[in-house]
């Protein structure tokens, strides 16, 4: 905890110098194209900048920018729908095939000991972006959870997204 000699304890400080890239970036609230962040990603035309690992016919695979764990991927249909009930059968099939492919790439590149795979449909179920359905593929390791979330309300990510992207990209290009 940070303490000042002249007053009460101050807030805890977590040094995160990599955040300056985000803080210093232009965040234009007025943009052309779709308002949905997931719909915009493939339209940016820069997969590396968007962290898109693979673009299929009906879905794409992307690194989660706010991951639960290193290697946290999402499989997202291009169709802007908010429920699995609204996803057509060919898209559902491609989503599940890409989840399987994502597991294989993650196993080959990172060697996880398990996976959390699923869908949070609706805000009440924990969906951060509730208006566009997506599937999470989260690699897990024994001991990957430590005291930081419980005591400090902080998740420690040991690898930068750029490095994770570089480690996984090759597996999707084969």
In a domain, 12, yes or no: no
CA angle (81 as vertex; 76, 87 as ends), nearest 5: 75
In a domain, 18, yes or no: no
In a domain, 16, yes or no: no
Is 134 catalytic? The answer is yes
- Catalytic member of 27, 31, 80, 134: 134
Which domain CATH number covers 167? 3.30.428.10
> What domain range is 74 assigned to?
36-172
> 75-86 in b/e burial notation, b at 16+ Cβ within 10 A?
bbbbeeeeeeee
pTM assigned to the model: 0.76
In a domain, 44, yes or no: yes
**18-69: pLDDT as tens digits:** 556 544 554 444 445 578 999 999 999 999 999 999 999 999 999 999 888 8
Distance separating alpha carbons of residues 14 and 46, to the nearest angstrom: 31
The residue among 20, 40, 24, 21 whose CA lies nearest residue 32 is: 40
Q: Tell me the average pLDDT across 152-156.
A: 56
Q: Which uninterrupted H or E stretch holds 164?
A: helix 161-172
Q: Is 174's pLDDT higher than 60?
A: yes
In a domain, 20, yes or no: no
């Amino acid at each position: 905890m940070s303490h000042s000699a002249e007053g009460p304890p101050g807030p805890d400080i977590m040094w995160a110098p990599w955040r300056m890239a985000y803080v210093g970036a232009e965040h234009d609230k007025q943009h052309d194209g779709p308002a949905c962040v997931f719909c915009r990603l493939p339209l940016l035309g820069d997969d590396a900048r968007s962290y898109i690992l693979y673009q299929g016919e009906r879905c794409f695979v992307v690194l989660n920018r706010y991951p639960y764990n290193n290697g946290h991927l999402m499989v997202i249909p291009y169709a802007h729908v908010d429920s699995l009930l609204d996803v057509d059968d060919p898209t559902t099939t491609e989503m599940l095939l890409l989840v399987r492919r994502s597991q294989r790439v993650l196993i080959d590149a990172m060697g996880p000991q398990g996976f959390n795979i699923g869908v949070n449909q609706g805000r009440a179920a924990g969906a951060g972006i509730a208006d566009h359905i997506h599937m999470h593929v989260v690699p897990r390791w024994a001991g990957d959870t430590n005291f930081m979330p419980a005591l400090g309300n902080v998740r420690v990510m040991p690898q930068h997204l750029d490095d994770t992207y570089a480690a996984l990209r090759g597996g999707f290009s084969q």
